[in-house]
Amino acid sequence: MAEQKSIFITGAGSGIGRATAQLFAERGWFVGLFDISATGLEETAALLPEGQRLSMVFDVRDRAGWARAVETFGQATGRRMHVLFNNAGVGKGGWLEEMTPEDIDLVLDVNLKGVINGAVAALPLLRETPGARIVNTASVAGIVGAPRLAVYVATKFGVRGLTEALDAEYSRYGVRVTSLMPWFVDTAILDNSGGGGSNRRLRDQLKENKTPIYPVRMAAERAWDAAHGSQTHYRVGKEAERAWFFARFMPSVVQSQVRRSMSDD
């Protein structure tokens, strides 16, 4: 009988993490659910078969929390981790000079340092698991910079670069590292303020500008591809593919398009 595969998911309490947990569970995987929100984890866990998942609250900024979570997961899976899905993230934005120091630190610490913490903490289990890999959630914001998202963009460009560097570094252990690069996906992040002193939700701005918003299940399907395919970066949605193309060959075009789509003017 084939060994049951396992995935460790951060940010599993909502959005892409929850949808990915459901998809992998449907396909027979054992799923580790990890999030800072106990309520979110309970809601996700209720959607999965009881014998096919475990849940644990922890903060990806906490290195000791990572150590406990990885150890708990390893005990449940016979020291196997086929995929680490470094997905936890926060989407606070606004004009840089108007962001609070606390919000700046939160975005940096969760979106970039949290991913690094995971890559370090999970490596022992990944090394023991044949064919293991890490999937890091980046973003189209890791392809082209957008106004009012400067810190978020910095973290996602960082995740993109980290992915490429670690894919090379960890190859000496037989561990692949890939990234997921979604366009705007229908998650709670879109209900945050668009920044710039406005109380309007980012979702409302996108709809007004007729900017596509893709279903979260599409992101989960691409996370599956990222866990199995031969590429390094996996875009979600046609707009993400367009951004990738234009950023490579016509960077000024995509930069001007993103500026217009995020502007209230």
Pairing of strands 6-10, 53-57: unpaired
| Per-residue pLDDT tens listing for the chain (265 residues) | 678 999 999 999 999 999 999 999 999 999 999 999 999 999 999 999 999 999 999 999 999 999 999 999 999 999 999 999 999 999 898 899 999 999 999 999 999 999 999 999 999 999 999 999 999 999 988 888 888 889 999 999 999 999 999 999 999 999 999 999 997 665 666 555 554 444 555 555 555 555 567 688 999 999 999 999 999 999 998 877 877 787 787 777 766 666 666 554 4
Phi-psi region of 79 (alpha: psi -120 to 50; beta: other; left: phi over 0): left
Distance separating alpha carbons of residues 94 and 107, to the nearest angstrom:
12
Distance separating alpha carbons of residues 176 and 181, to the nearest angstrom:
17
Distance separating alpha carbons of residues 17 and 172, to the nearest angstrom:
28
* SS3 label, residue 98: helix
152 catalytic, yes or no?
yes
Domain range summary for the chain, segments of one domain joined by +: 6-261
CATH code of the domain made up of 6-261: 3.40.50.720
